[in-house]
Amino acid sequence: MARIGPQEGPNGSRFSRLGTRHTPSRPLWICRVDAAPWPCAEARLWLTRTHRENPVALYVLLGAALAEAMTDLYRLDAYGAPEPRILFDRFLGWTPARRPT
Ligand SMILES: [Zn+2]
């Protein structure tokens, strides 16, 4: 599986290749533009807009980002890192609800 990380692009994120400057700065997972916890409000808007036709891809992308953020943040500070539930809400809790098919 591809990693989301500094090794993947000149700006430190594969998100930088996709058309927004609001990309995560690792290992802190804060926005490179506004320093808000990533995905910031602008990143959420951009992600929603660009995945409107394929929300499953959005969930996969954010799920991978969540797993990597947990690894990074717990590696930085195992006792001070956000609880998994908080990170789940931050990365996936805001996404549009999936409609039953
Ligand atoms: Zn931002």
Domain ranges of the chain: 6-93
Q: Quote the ligand 1 centre to 34 CA distance (angstroms).
A: 5
> 44-58: per-residue pLDDT in tens?
999 999 999 999 999
> 80-92: per-residue pLDDT in tens?
999 999 999 999 9
Instruction: Map residue 26 onto helix, strand or coil.
Output: coil
Helix (H), strand (E) at residue 66: helix 55-76
Give the C-alpha distances (Å, rounded to integers) separating 93 from 21, 59, 63, 89: 22, 10, 11, 4
Give the mean pLDDT of 69-79.
96
Q: Quote the ligand 1 centre to 22 CA distance (angstroms).
A: 4
What predicted TM-score, i.e. pTM, was given to this entire model? 0.80
What type of residue is 91?
F
- Whole-angstrom distance, CA of residue 67 vs CA of residue 62: 9
Q: Quote the ligand 1 centre to 15 CA distance (angstroms).
A: 12
- Whole-angstrom distance, CA of residue 17 vs CA of residue 92: 21
Q: Quote the ligand 1 centre to 38 CA distance (angstroms).
A: 7
